Amino acid sequence: MRAVIQRVSKASVSIDGKIAGNIGQGLLILLGIEEADTQEDVEWLSGKISRLRIFNDNEGLMNLSVLEINSEVLIVSQFTLHASTKKGNRPSYIKAAKPEIAIPLYEAFIEQMERDLGKPVQTGEFGAMMDVALINDGPVTIIIDTKNKE
């Protein structure tokens, strides 16, 4: 699994002009799932993100997690995170999981994040054409890949 995590002041995802998910301060998570991903990736990534200390404390240091500040999370599936640009100019998405693998893992990730945070998260819709709007706070953007554990 590959995730792009953005600390946001606010973010939303719309489908056909209608807002599907909307948050204030928190994290926008763009999530890419590959064929080799498992439930272990789901659990590791959710735990890592929920405890990631990227929010400012009283001294202005990034020392608090989304869990600690009781903030919001918006999760959007994005298969293009597994694009390979090694050959040619047209990205290949061969490593991106097919829907029969990706959808259950995407849903499992949402459920795991909700368990780890102790509250519901907002989402887009898997496979839909979505418009994502955000105000990146900082800016702070972190990329995590479960295969590299970084």
Of the residues 6, 25, 55, 80, which is catalytic?
80
Q: Is 126 a catalytic residue?
A: no
Q: Residue 126: is it exposed, middle or buried by C-beta count within 10 angstroms (0-12/13-18/19+)?
A: middle
Checking phi first, is residue 44 left (phi over 0); if not, alpha (psi -120 to 50) or beta? alpha
Has 85 been annotated as catalytic? no
Q: Which letter does DSSP use for residue 56 in this model?
A: E
The strand pairing partners of 92, in sequence order, are: 84
Residue type, 45: L
**Residue 112 annotated to the active site:** no
Q: H or E segment at 136?
A: strand 131-145
| C-alpha span between 89 and 36 (Å, rounded) | 25
Say which of 6, 78, 122, 123 is annotated catalytic: 78
The span from the CA of 146 to the CA of 34, in Å, is: 10
User: 6, 55, 79, 146: which one is catalytic?
Assistant: 79
Q: Please identify every residue annotated as catalytic.
A: 78-80
